[in-house]
Structure 1
């Protein structure tokens, strides 16, 4: 028996569709995002989660609350699970970012934004902290954001930073599953639940939209 963590990305927002950098901006789910959250809740409820914790941003909290309604669990809130801050890029489209900051766009480093290492540290620390409260066979669902989840997982698994890009992005209301093993955390599933949906995220300058 081992602890498991499901890292669930929030449902779609209008800014996802418009490819605007969201970061810490508190953007709500759109109608599609609400439907995605309802669908994900029906699937994840079958795993019988023990605890649900969400980012403090509305799009993640509303996604978590859909699961809470199905399972009867309350949703705890942790600001450390919020998305990577986008500094001057928040609210801008990818085209606008590229036009204004071509060099920074290539590196995906927003002026005034958060460093990836800082995001990885706070998200992984949050996951460890909440997972420590689980029973040995418990399941924690973390509702968070694309970049935050990917970076947190990378740090949690002790991957060297140069290998972090090897973890792909997550689609809206897709999830990744981690399990605590004898020698640390291991990744059981990644970007499950919505494939082959396109990934629209703050996570990198590329998207997988076809």
Structure 2
């Protein structure tokens, strides 16, 4: 048996619906998000996870807690699994960002925000750290955020930065599955759990379905 990791994005928030950059702002799930978390939990519980770890932000932690209630597991918290910090853009819509910072919008680099490579490094390091706690046949569920999860997976897979956009963004309460092999981690599933649909995320417009 080999170690596996499920990377689950949090459920929907009001700011997702309004297409506002959330970043480190601590927004809770809306009613739809709560229902999404319950549905995802009912599916993922059947995989018999052995460890659950979450970002410290409410939208992720509440999503993780829905799975914990079904599995009887505790939710560990790791701040390194937070979303990419959005600096001056947090709370603003895509339209407001594009109007106010047209050059930065094209590069998706927020003034005062986190550098994309820094996010990839911290999330991948957290994933590696927590996967190290697994037994040989264990399953880790990492509950995080759209951009943070995608960037962490890309770094974990060893993709060069110019190819990170080949991984599409994750829908709310969708997940990716990775398995550890002799040569490192490999991607088994991506954005699973729902049919393809428009994605509202803090991720770059180049990789989101509605970008």
What RMSD in Å do the two structures reach over aligned CA positions? Answer: 1.0
- 2:154 aligned partner: 154
- 2:209 aligned partner: 208
- 2:101 aligned partner: 101
Distance 2:120 2:209 in 1: 23
SS at match of 2:141: strand
Residues 15 and 22 in structure 1, CA contact (< 8 A), matched pair in contact too: yes
After superposition, residues 67-82 of structure 1 pair within 5 angstroms as 67-82=67-82
Deviations 1:166-197 (A, max 9, x none): 11000000000010000010000000002223
Residues 14 and 29 in structure 1, CA contact (< 8 A), matched pair in contact too: yes
Distance 2:139 2:197 in 1: 26
- 2:184 aligned partner: 184
After superposition, residues 81-100 of structure 1 pair within 5 angstroms as 81-100=81-100
- 2:45 aligned partner: 45
- Offset of residue 209 of structure 1: 4.2
Moved over 6 A (4+): none
Distance 2:52 2:195 in 1: 23
- 1:168 aligned partner: 168
- 1:193 aligned partner: 193
TM-score if structure 2 supplies the norm length?
0.98
- 1:119 aligned partner: 119
Range with greater deviation from structure 2 (191-200 or 26-35): 191-200
Deviations 1:188-210 (A, max 9, x none): 00000022232110001254249
- 2:6 aligned partner: 6
Distance 1:198 1:26 in 2: 23
Distance 1:110 1:145 in 2: 17
Unaligned runs of 5+ in 1: none
- 2:143 aligned partner: 143
Unaligned runs of 5+ in 2: none
Deviations 1:9-56 (A, max 9, x none): 000000000000000000000000000000000000000000000000
SS at match of 1:191: strand
Deviations 1:82-138 (A, max 9, x none): 000000000000000000000110111101100111000000000000000000000
- Offset of residue 159 of structure 1: 0.5
- 1:62 aligned partner: 62
TM-score if structure 1 supplies the norm length?
0.98
Distance 2:56 2:173 in 1: 17
User: How many aligned positions are there?
Assistant: 210
Residues 94 and 205 in structure 1, CA contact (< 8 A), matched pair in contact too: no
